[in-house]
A and B are shown apart, each in its own frame.
Chain A
Amino acid sequence: MSIESVAGPIPHTAMLPPLVEQLHSWVITVDHKRLGILYILYALVFLLVGGLEATIMRIQLIRPHNDFVSPQVFNRMFTMHGTTMIFFVVMPVMFGFANYLIPLMIGARDMAFPRLNAFSFWMTAFGGLLLYFSFVGGDGLYGAGSAPDVGWFAYAPLTSKTFSQGHSTDFWTLSLLISGFGSVGTAINIIATILCSRCNGMTLSKMPLLAWLNLTMGGLVILAVSPLTAAQLMLLIDRYLGGHFFDTQAGGSAVLWMHFFWVFGHPEVYVLVIPAFAFASEIIPVFSRKAIFGYPVMVAATICIGFIGMSVWAHHMFTVGMSSNANTFFVLSTMAIAVPTGIKIFNWLATMWGGQIHFETPMLFCIAFLFQFLIAGLTGIMQAAAPFDWQLTASYFVVAHFHYVIVGGILFTLFGAFYYWFPKMSGRMYNEALGRLHFWLFIIGFHLTFDFMHIPGVLGMPRRIYTYEPGRGWDIWNLIVTIGVFFQAAGVLIFIGNLVWSYFRGKLAGSDPWDGWTLEWSTTSPPPTYNFRAIPAVKSRRPLWDLKHPEDPDWHYE
Chain B
Amino acid sequence: MSAPSAVMAQSDIRWNLPARGPVGMYCLIAAEVAIFTIFVVAYIFYIGKSLAGPQPHDVLHPPIFLTSCLLSSSLTIHIAVRFLRGGTMMSFALWWVLTMVLGAVFLAGTIREWRHLIYEDGLTIQTNLFGTTYYSLVGLHAFHVIVGLLALGTVLAFTLRGEVRKEHAERADVLSMYWHFVDVVWVVVFLVVYVIGR
Contacts and interface: CB of A to CB of B under 8 A. Distances in A.
B39 A230 contact: yes
B19 to A, nearest CB: 7
B125 A242 contact: yes
Contacts of B126: 241-244
Contacts of A453: none
Nearest to A543: B8
Interface of A: 7, 107, 112-113, 116, 184, 187-189, 191-193, 195-198, 200-201, 203, 218-219, 222-227, 229-231, 233-234, 237-238, 241-245, 250-253, 256, 260, 263, 511, 519, 522-524, 532-539, 543-544, 546-547
Nearest to B34: A226
19 contacts: A188-B24, A188-B28, A197-B20, A200-B11, A224-B34, A227-B34, A230-B35, A242-B126, A243-B125, A243-B126, A244-B128, A250-B129, A251-B51, A524-B1, A524-B3, A533-B2, A535-B5, A538-B8, A539-B9
B136 A192 contact: no
Interface residues of B, number: 44
Contacts of A547: 4, 7-8
B132 A244 contact: yes
A112 B140 CA distance: 29
Contact of B136 (A7, A225, A243, A519): A243
A201 B42 contact: no
A196 B132 contact: no
Contacts of A188: 24, 27-28, 31
A184 B27 CA distance: 9
B8 A537 contact: yes
B150 interface: no
A522 B23 CA distance: 29
B129 A252 contact: yes
B18 to A, nearest CB: 5
A198 B6 CA distance: 16
B50 A533 contact: no
A227 B38 CA distance: 6
Contact of B13 (A203, A245, A252, A524): A203
Contacts of B20: 112-113, 192-193, 196-197
A3 to B, nearest CB: 14
Interface centre among B8, B27, B126 (most CB of A within 10 A): B8
Given A195-B18, A243-B125, A536-B8, A522 B37 contact: no
Contact of B23 (A196, A219, A226, A245): A196
Interface centre among B2, B5, B32 (most CB of A within 10 A): B5
B116 interface: no
A116 B13 CA distance: 31
B17 interface: yes
B147 interface: no
A519 B4 CA distance: 10
Given A192-B27, A234-B136, A107 B17 contact: no
Contacts of A197: 17, 20
B49 interface: yes
Contacts of B28: 184, 188
A253 B45 contact: yes
Nearest to A511: B1
Nearest to A238: B132
Contact of A245 (B31, B36, B132): B132
A237 B17 contact: no
Contacts of A112: 20, 23-24
Contacts of B45: 253, 256
A532 B2 CA distance: 10
Given A198-B17, A237-B136, A537 B9 contact: yes
